[in-house]
């Protein structure tokens, strides 16, 4: 039964993962420190190629990078020049930092470039440094393992763009004179307290605005907040640092308002509850970031600035099970929305790493649809944890720890599935099967490193627990490195995004040995493809097409139908309006193609729900593309 339940939850999690497409953008903006050496936490990592050559047009500055000479511990120097990547002009006032570990602590030294774009970091102790360059109008870049004595560590920084436009009434085009505005990298429909703090107030008779420091070549979201209007989220892309994006018109709709009251199952008002939009945040910190309103002493709240469309509200109070409710403000009108909270169950236990307690491990819980049923917590010094007010039912407890490897960005995880009753106190201990085996996974797509990649190892323990380890592609080394693995046979799933934005995946079995590093070369250069059309699905749904290795029987989405199912997708696509889909980068072989009907969620943050499906088993050869018709009767 445990293996059955684990299979159910693992499959549903994989299906939900087909819907989510995440693009993470990173930029370096560390704190500037003038002419001194300080200790501080490591800034977000900024990946970049090995180095930038100076512009060919500047003959006087054309310098070759030579091997670094050995220098004395005092007076060590790292020097170079910083240019604009588009104009090739030297940049004045760019901050350049050198960072390294000295006697176990991270230290840094910083300077600013002069009028010629030159910088010179002096009095560096001998060693290897991470050198970063960043400015107020340019993207940051970093170079790893720079040796003291290097004199030509140059950077080509990409500039940021600008947006100009107007904010007007959607109904009549009249200017909105007073508003708050900000731009956020990437696409979002969520206004967190952090973002709200970045908004600047604008008062302009014509409703005009100008936004600077906008990321170039990537989608951004302009967020506008104005009294009496729905908060506006407008996606734009600035394609040039030299040419601002002009004449952007933001049209504001009248706001919708939800008034509500939160009570417990006895009818008593619940004060101090947090109310927000979308999916329940995963931690107390994020509850505060995404809180849109709070209940007063009478349990009432008001959510304004909403778009006139269906939304999902979450409600959280530490003494009750979190609640989620769908509401259409247009239908609610002036009525009061009543939300009832109830007491829940408790899951507690201890997390172990082998025979020692795991301090600081992250523990959370979700239901079979991937919805959070408890906020994530950290384990105490003795490895203990306690999840309060867990929603009863089938629950997956997930624990995460990071290996004891400096600079390692991956993590280990354990999943345990339990059935919990209301007001029950369930004991769930988690044991990570740490080992000293390692995997170095080299990933290539058509003999080239991918734009990004992820490697995940998984295995089932004898007690039916799903354990695994995840690591992202490391640009400087060219590997996905997985540390502290148990020895034996593991399932390795490697997924990569090629430079033409095609996602490719492979699944293979790998043997590990105690105390040894196993090198795995994964070639994702498959030349086969599957295309086709899905039909017979209902309006208001999305059709997700997944490709799975082998002939996989999936009779339905019931518990019985999912019994014994063990597979993972090696390709996925969302069918367009006509039902057409295309999946490429496959190896030759037998595949099961499954078109799944997903009910659209009421908000962007909530996951969709799987319903009906249809499938076909196909054979595909190298270099071939086959057509598949999937019709749901």
Q: In sequence order, what are the residues at sequence separation of 6 or more whose Cβ sits closer than 8 angstroms to the Cβ of residue 507?
A: 491, 492, 493, 494, 549, 568, 570
State residue 454's pLDDT score.
84
Tokens of 274: 């947090």
Residue 511 pLDDT exceeds 70: yes
Who has greater pLDDT, 59 or 333?
333
Residue 359 pLDDT exceeds 50: yes
Q: What is the mean pLDDT of residues 4-17?
A: 40
Place of tokens 């840094």: 108
All domains in the chain, ordered by first residue: 2-23+527-631 (2.60.40.1120), 38-157 (2.60.40.1120), 161-252 (2.60.40.1120), 256-341 (2.60.40.1120), 345-432 (2.60.40.10), 437-523 (2.60.40.1120)
* pLDDT-derived band at 2, boundaries 50, 70, 90: very low
Under a CB-based contact definition with an 8 Å cutoff, are residues 408 and 481 in contact? yes
Q: What is the mean pLDDT of residues 278-288?
A: 85
Tell me the sheet residues that pair with 357.
Answer: 352
Tokens of 226: 């104005």
State residue 240's pLDDT score.
81
Distance CA 481, CA 403 (A): 11
Under a CB-based contact definition with an 8 Å cutoff, are residues 46 and 26 in contact? yes
Buried b (16+ CB within 10 A) or exposed e, 469-498: bbbebbbeeebbbbbbbbbeebbbbbbbbb
Q: Reduce the secondary structure of 536-555 to three states and give it as a string.
A: CCCCCEEEEEEEEECCCCCC
Distance of CA 238 to the CA centre of its chain: 22
Q: What is the mean pLDDT of residues 88-95?
A: 91
Place of tokens 């000479």: 69
Q: Which of 464, 458, 517, 520 is nearest to 489 (CA)?
A: 458
Distance CA 267, CA 525 (A): 61
Residue 346 pLDDT exceeds 50: yes
* pLDDT-derived band at 29, boundaries 50, 70, 90: very low
Share of the chain above pLDDT 70, in %: 80
Distance CA 336, CA 258 (A): 8
Q: In sequence order, what are the residues at sequence separation of 6 or more whose Cβ sits closer than 8 angstroms to the Cβ of residue 18?
A: 544, 546, 569, 572, 596
Distance CA 157, CA 139 (A): 6
Q: What is the dihedral of CA 609, 614, 619, 625, to 10 degrees?
A: -70
Residue 482 pLDDT exceeds 50: yes
Residues 98-108 pLDDT 10s: 988 766 667 78
- Residue 600 DSSP label: P
State residue 599's pLDDT score.
62
State residue 279's pLDDT score.
82
State residue 58's pLDDT score.
38
Place of tokens 């979308």: 278
What mean pLDDT is reported for the chain?
80
Region of 149 (left: φ > 0; alpha: ψ -120 to 50; beta: rest) is: left
Distance CA 393, CA 417 (A): 10
Place of tokens 């490709």: 547
Q: In sequence order, what are the residues at sequence separation of 6 or more whose Cβ sits closer than 8 angstroms to the Cβ of residue 361?
A: 351, 378, 379, 383, 385, 399, 400, 401, 430
Share of the chain above pLDDT 90, in %: 36
State residue 125's pLDDT score.
85
Distance CA 442, CA 213 (A): 36
Residues 573-627 pLDDT 10s: 888 888 899 988 898 999 988 888 776 544 443 444 455 788 889 999 999 999 9
Place of tokens 């939009």: 277
Q: What is the mean pLDDT of residues 203-209?
A: 95
Distance CA 327, CA 313 (A): 8
Look at the pTM and tell me if it is higher than 0.85: no
Tell me the sheet residues that pair with 336.
Answer: 259
Buried b (16+ CB within 10 A) or exposed e, 540-568: ebebbbbbbbeebebeebeeeebeebebb
Q: Which of 20, 11, 1, 8 is nearest to 608 (CA)?
A: 20
Tell me the sheet residues that pair with 264.
Answer: 341
Residue 394 pLDDT exceeds 60: yes
């Amino acid at each position: 039964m445990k293996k059955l339940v684990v299979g159910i939850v693992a499959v549903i999690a994989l299906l939900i993962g087909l819907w989510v497409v995440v693009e993470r953008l990173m930029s370096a903006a560390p704190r500037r420190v003038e002419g001194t050496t300080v200790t501080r936490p490591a800034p977000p990592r900024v990946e970049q190629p090995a180095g930038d050559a100076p512009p060919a047009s500047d003959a006087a500055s054309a310098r070759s990078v030579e091997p670094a000479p050995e220098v004395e511990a005092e007076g060590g120097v790292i020097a170079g020049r910083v240019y604009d990547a588009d104009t090739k002009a030297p940049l004045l006032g760019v901050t350049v930092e050198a960072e390294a570990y000295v006697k176990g602590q991270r230290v840094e030294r910083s300077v600013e470039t002069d009028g010629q774009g030159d910088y010179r970091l002096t009095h560096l102790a001998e060693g290897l440094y991470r050198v970063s360059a960043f400015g107020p109008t340019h993207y940051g870049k970093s170079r790893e393992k720079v040796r003291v004595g290097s004199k030509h560590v140059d950077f080509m920084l990409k500039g940021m763009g600008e947006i100009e436009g107007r904010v007007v009434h959607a109904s009549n085009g009249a200017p909105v004179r007073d508003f708050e505005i900000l731009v956020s990298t990437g696409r979002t429909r969520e206004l967190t307290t952090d973002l709200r703090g970045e908004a600047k107030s604008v008062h302009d008779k014509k409703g005009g605005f100008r936004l600077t420091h906008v990321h170039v070549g990537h989608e951004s979201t302009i967020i506008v907040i104005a009294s009496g209007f729905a908060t506006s989220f407008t996606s734009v892309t600035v394609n040039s640092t030299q040419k601002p994006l002009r004449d952007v018109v933001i049209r504001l709709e009248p706001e919708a308002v939800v008034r509500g009251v939160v009570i417990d199952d006895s009818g008593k008002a619940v004060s101090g509850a947090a109310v927000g939009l979308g999916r329940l945040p995963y931690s107390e910190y994020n509850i505060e970031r995404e809180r849109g309103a709070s209940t007063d002493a009478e349990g009432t709240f008001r959510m304004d600035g909403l778009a006139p469309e269906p939304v999902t509200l979450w409600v959280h109070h530490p003494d009750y099970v979190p609640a989620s409710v769908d509401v259409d403000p247009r239908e609610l009108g002036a009525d009061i929305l009543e939300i009832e909270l109830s007491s829940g169950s408790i899951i507690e236990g201890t997390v172990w790493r082998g025979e020692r307690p795991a301090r600081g491990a992250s523990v959370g819980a979700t239901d079979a649809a991937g919805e959070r049923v408890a906020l994530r917590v950290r384990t105490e010094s003795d490895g203990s944890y306690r999840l309060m007010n867990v929603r009863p039912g089938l629950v997956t407890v997930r624990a995460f720890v990071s290996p004891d490897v400096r600079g390692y960005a991956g993590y280990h995880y354990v999943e345990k599935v339990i059935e919990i009753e209301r007001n029950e106190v369930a004991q769930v201990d988690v044991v990570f099967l740490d080992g000293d085996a390692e995997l170095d996974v080299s990933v290539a797509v058509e003999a080239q490193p991918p734009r990004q990649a992820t490697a995940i190892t998984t295995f089932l323990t004898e007690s039916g627990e799903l354990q695994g380890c995840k690591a992202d592609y490391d640009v400087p080394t060219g590997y996905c490195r997985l540390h502290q693995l148990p020895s034996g046979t593991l399932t390795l799933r490697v997924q990569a995004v090629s430079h033409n934005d095609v996602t490719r995946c492979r699944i293979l079995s790998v043997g590990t040995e105690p105390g040894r590093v196993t090198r795995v070369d994964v070639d994702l250069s498959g030349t086969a493809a599957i295309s086709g059309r899905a039909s017979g699905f209902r309006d208001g749904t999305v059709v997700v097409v997944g490709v799975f290795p082998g002939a996989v029987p999936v009779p339905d989405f019931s518990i019985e139908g999912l019994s014994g199912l063990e597979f993972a997708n090696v390709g996925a696509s969302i069918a367009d309006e006509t039902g057409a889909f295309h999946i490429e980068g496959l190896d030759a072989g037998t595949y099961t193609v499954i078109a799944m009907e997903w009910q659209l969620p009421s908000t962007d943050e909530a996951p969709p729900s799987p319903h009906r499906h249809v499938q076909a088993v196909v054979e595909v050869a190298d270099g071939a593309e086959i057509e598949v018709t999937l019709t749901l009767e």
